[in-house]
Amino acid sequence: MNYLDRNEFNFEPSQLVVDTIKNFDIRKFAFYTRIYDQGKKSIFSVYLSEQFHIDEQQVLLGYGAEDLLKKAVHYFLTVKGSNGIMMIPKFSWWYYSNIADEVEGQTIQYNVIETDDTFKYDFEALERQVNEVRPKILLVATPNNPTGNGLTPAELEHLCDIVPAETVILVDEAYASYVTSDTTYIKHLVETRGNIIFCRTMSKFYGLPGLRLGFGFIGKGEEMERFAKYANMYLGYDRLSEEVGIAALKSGDHYREIARVMQEARDMYKAEVGALDGFKVYRSVANFILIKYPIALKEKLQQAFADEDYKVKFMNEPDLNTHMRITLGRREQNRTICDTILRIAKEQ
């Protein structure tokens, strides 16, 4: 089965990642990392601080970005003085509201507007809503799942300008590495804003979801320092995962080539499927693409994909129930999906 329904990685890891696993000294598991003697969390957090040019104390590590998101939501929705409210995009990952529910938090949606071939935030409306609701957390996903749109660094800074200092801006950047390799905006924002948290992962761009390794960065200030103490592990992290994570980060050329293959797929879908009557291909800066299709073709498309031994995600959310989200995979996978859509569309 070809799984193109969960935004998983359909490529090979870098050779450096493979060699790091093969050559790992198993005796390291017998000892804690000694780096905590230096007041640091792990060799991975030190490496991240060097690569992103951010103070190691502002680096977060977790059991995947999922863990960091959960810790942030649980902490800030229950901390003293919190009103327990989190605002999330109208179209977003179901998990956000679930983790708020776990601590009896309240989730309120803010609007995401469809414009031409993408989705955008209405910043004026968002500012009004934030000032009215005064949420403890404003969650932003960039790129956003399932719509595929992202915020530019300038838009992120504008968002920071319109949000009150007491509201924590939680930025889910699980797919951000597909957008650009420039991360200087993160350093700028965590050094100038005391209410921002960035969450990233090794799962998407680096194709290591089974590693369960997430990382993030926090702004400066007492509130974030208290959160860091709550979120970080006193005795460090999995020593094999740390070394594999560093190996992946060092393999930029390998993963950038995969990103290039995905861009080819975006262009193919846009040119070929986008030209079909009743179909609309949205711009994406993630490892998936959203396509609107004639709902009358749903069963035929589902059966055709199944016959080819493929799975894609047919959306069923309100206002997004005539869309399918397709993970960008290897060239032959992308071609098969595209050809299947073209065939079914021509048969109608």
- Per residue in 205-232, pLDDT (tens digit) is 999 999 999 999 999 999 999 999 999 8
- Which segment of 120-129, 150-159, 211-220, 234-243 scores lowest on mean pLDDT? 234-243
Mean pLDDT of 179-208: 95
Residue 179 reports pLDDT greater than 80: no
Mean pLDDT of 6-24: 97
CA distance 84 to 146: 26
Cβ atoms of 149 and 97 closer than 8 Å: no
Give residue 233's pLDDT band: very low, low, confident or very high (50, 70, 90).
confident
Q: What is the pLDDT of residue 34?
A: 83
Q: State what percent of residues in the chain have pLDDT above 90.
A: 93
Q: What is the pLDDT of residue 35?
A: 86
Residue 187 reports pLDDT greater than 90: yes
254-283 per-position pLDDT tens digit: 999 999 999 999 999 999 999 999 999 999
Provide the strand spans (E) within the chain. Answer: 2-4, 59-62, 85-89, 106-110, 112-115, 118-121, 137-141, 168-172, 196-201, 214-218, 280-281, 288-292, 310-314, 323-327
Residue 181 reports pLDDT greater than 90: no
Residue 348 reports pLDDT greater than 80: no
Give residue 347's pLDDT band: very low, low, confident or very high (50, 70, 90).
confident
pTM across the whole model: 0.96
Residue, of 241 and 234, whose pLDDT is higher: 241
Within the chain, how many helices (H) and strands (E) appear?
Answer: 12, 14
Mean pLDDT of 22-44: 91
- Is the domain defined by 32-249 classed in CATH 3.40.640.10? yes
81-110 per-position pLDDT tens digit: 999 999 999 999 999 999 999 999 999 999
CATH fold for the domain made of 2-10+252-347? Aspartate Aminotransferase, domain 1 (3.90.1150)
Give residue 306's pLDDT band: very low, low, confident or very high (50, 70, 90).
very high
- Crossing angle of helices 43-52/239-249, nearest 10°? 20
Residue 141 reports pLDDT greater than 90: yes
CA distance 315 to 149: 16
Residue 4 reports pLDDT greater than 80: yes
Q: Name 197's Cβ contacts closer than 8 Å, sequence gap at least 6.
A: 60, 68, 72, 168, 169, 170, 171, 216, 217, 218, 219, 224, 227
Task: Read off the tokens for 183.
Answer: 């991360």
Checking DSSP bridges between strand 196-201 and strand 137-141, what pairing results, if any? Answer: unpaired
Residue 38 reports pLDDT greater than 90: no
Cβ atoms of 315 and 324 closer than 8 Å: yes
Mean pLDDT of 308-312: 97
Each domain of the chain, given as residue ranges in start order, spans 2-10+252-347, 32-249
Q: What is the pLDDT of residue 39?
A: 86
Residue 153 reports pLDDT greater than 90: yes
Give residue 236's pLDDT band: very low, low, confident or very high (50, 70, 90).
confident
